Amino acid sequence: MIKLVNVQKSFGNQQVLRGVTLEIPKGKLTTIIGQSGSGKSVLLKHMIGLLQPERGEVWVDGIEISRMRSKALNDVRKKFAMLFQGAALFDSLTVFDNVAFPLREKLHLPEREVTQRVEEKLDQVGLAGMGHKFPAELSGGMKKRAGLARALVMEPEIILFDEPTTGLDPLLANSIHELILAMHRMFRFTAIMVSHEIPEVFAISDWIAMLHEGKIAAMASSADFQRIADPTIREFITAGGTISLTHKSDGVSA
């Protein structure tokens, strides 16, 4: 569904992506892990065309998007939805209107259909009857659920999750992971998640890719990834993804 070929990106003198080559399988949940500041969110932004690589190619469903102009790029972006770290809800809108926003802005649907689709998605994410509330009235976990409902309401082919459990305690984080997994199983969209939640992501992911020193150090099925012997990966898993890595990767992939 998504393929990156030798993607390179720098900000000033800092080279963040040093030649990332990665294929995201269609209909699967792939999680990208790596230490803080390794460029995981930068990688997501290349997938949706918010950033353009200095070198390399970004392919989405057979179309190379890295040099596209805005109109053609916007057509490709219709395949995507994104759940941001802070849910990115509009404070001045109710939960219902936040979820309805893309339907009204992009599809101009009749209000009866908007209501039906919004209420259905709110129910699916566990927010039935909460549409009248404003974001300030929601807990952190409820904001994430509202953001997920808005991501789902356009029925996208691809959803990007940028650290979806940031700021949540472990119990709430697990509930959001379980919800993402349930929605993925229900709708079978292609999911790409950036996360630092080790080892929790192994239980919900089909594939794991690790970004280290600007390249993909390894990609494997969730079960196989946990058996990789590379010392960089072993150290990262053992420490729960919280340490500063010192080993050089051998570029293992599977």
The residue assigned the tokens 């305690």 is 169
Q: Could you list the pLDDT tens digit for every one of the 254 residues in the chain?
A: 899 999 999 999 999 999 999 999 999 999 999 988 889 999 999 999 999 999 999 999 999 999 898 889 999 999 999 998 877 899 999 999 999 999 998 888 899 999 999 999 999 999 999 999 999 999 999 999 999 999 999 999 999 999 999 888 999 999 999 999 999 999 999 999 999 889 999 999 999 999 999 999 999 999 999 999 999 999 999 887 654 444 333 333 33
- DSSP codes of every residue in 28-90: SEEEEE--TTSSHHHHHHHHTTSS--SEEEEEETTEE-TT--HHHHHHHHTTEEEE-TTTT--
Beta bridge partners of 194: 32, 162
Q: Can you give the pLDDT at residue 242? A: 59
Predicted model pTM: 0.90
pLDDT attached to residue 57? 97
Instruction: Provide the residue count of the chain.
Output: 254
Query: DSSP alpha helices (H): ranges in 154-202?
Result: 170-187
Domain boundaries, the chain: 1-79+157-254, 86-155
Bridge partners of 215, per DSSP, are 212
Strand order through the sheet with 215-221: 80-83, 158-162, 190-194, 29-33, 207-212, 215-221
80 vs 132: CA distance, rounded Å: 27
CATH code of domain 1-79+157-254: 3.40.50.300
